[in-house]
Amino acid sequence: MNILTATSKRVDISLLVGFTFLALAYFYVHDPVTLSAFEWVPSEEEIQKYRQSWNPLSEGPLLIQAVDIHPEGQLSIRPFIYGQVAEHSYGNRFTLPTERKPGPVHLYSVSPLVTIAYGLTNHVEIGTALSMSSFWARDSQSFNQGKGGPMTTNTGFGDVSLFVKYRPIIQDPDTSRPSVTLYSQIILPSSRWTGTERPPGGFAPIGRLPSTRFGELGFTEGLTFRKNFRPFRISGGVFYTYAAPGSEGATTTYTGDIVNTRFVFEHFLDDKKSLAYNLEFVGLHTLTWRADGHAINRGQRSGSTTLGIEPVIQWRFGDSNFVGAAGVLFTVAGQNALDAIYPNFSIQWYWRKTGKVIMR
């Protein structure tokens, strides 16, 4: 591997992972007593204090799972549509879009996703995500030469994710203490089981869940945080995905593990309408190593990186329990990855057995 390439990748990942840990460090230094003096199960008094504080019912970030937890017995159903348009790519060096190259494929894809989340207790939330995938791809060299050529297309079921979130620390409205949540996810390769083809590049459009390789069994652990400062909400997270070994005939295959990073800034312009805009910063990194120590023999062996920024607008539909958001993710730098734009849109419906829903 090129030394400069490896060094730039390590620096890049370190900077992005540092977003989350620097934020947590800031909260600790600013108010060490309230952040360290917690029990692993927040008290009912702390929960009620948070729920009575400023926190408009809204869609929230598009590209990270909600950090705080549904109240016990509350449910949300959230359909998404994520798209991808990619006609350029980055080489084996971390660069900006000014140095991107045409091709090697022109890829257009759509990935509908439905996420269902339920507050099992006031501290634990469980959920699942069901998806489909459609893509259209063509050889860009032949197309750019005016020769046309065949287009590869496929539509089918995507992968299924099962997740659980536990919040050991709940934010305090009167101090700088944030909410901190542990996130665990299992990715079932249902796309492979149902015969859906893998899109070029191996990833479906970057979505709300931590992105993982298409059609592979994976296990994700994450650390997320959120803090409300009226009229702002700030959240972020770091997620590590272990890719389980696969097989091709008699050969056991090993791909690199994956790191996802997220940092989100929300600014509310109208609390009653839940009208706000977001700036969401996204990182997707395939690594050159595996947690189990096996050498990589499939996939991008020199690793890859995609960095993106997404502006988002979010709103509430009147006084109903429906909220929505729309945005476009732009790739701003990359290495061994596609340069793309990702338009996306979602609607979320909240339900609670007592009737009145509460923002997480």
Residue that the structure tokens 């989340």 belong to: 117
The confidence score (pLDDT) of residue 105 equals 83
Nearest to 63 by CA among 229, 278, 218: 278
Amino acid at 320: S
Q: Contact 191/48 with Cβ under 8 angstroms?
A: no
Provide the pLDDT for residue 31: 52
Sequence-distant (≥ 6) Cβ neighbours of residue 145 within 8 angstroms: none
Contact 44, 170 (CB under 8 A): no
Residue 313 is predicted with a pLDDT of: 97
Taken in order of first residue, the domains within the chain and their CATH numbers are 3-343 (2.40.160.40)
Per-position pLDDT tens, the chain of length 360: 444 444 444 444 444 455 555 554 544 445 554 444 446 788 999 999 999 999 999 999 999 888 999 999 999 999 999 999 998 889 888 999 888 888 788 889 999 999 999 999 999 999 999 999 899 988 756 555 555 567 889 999 999 999 999 999 999 999 999 999 999 999 999 998 999 988 887 776 666 678 888 888 999 999 999 999 999 999 999 999 998 898 878 888 888 999 999 999 999 999 999 999 999 999 999 999 899 989 888 877 888 899 999 999 999 999 999 999 999 999 999 999 889 999 999 999 999 988 889 999
pLDDT value of residue 146: 58
pLDDT at 70: 94
According to the model, what pLDDT value does residue 66 have? 86
The pLDDT of residue 8 is 45
pLDDT score recorded for residue 321: 95
Going by their DSSP bridges, the two strands 124-139 and 218-229 should be labelled as unpaired
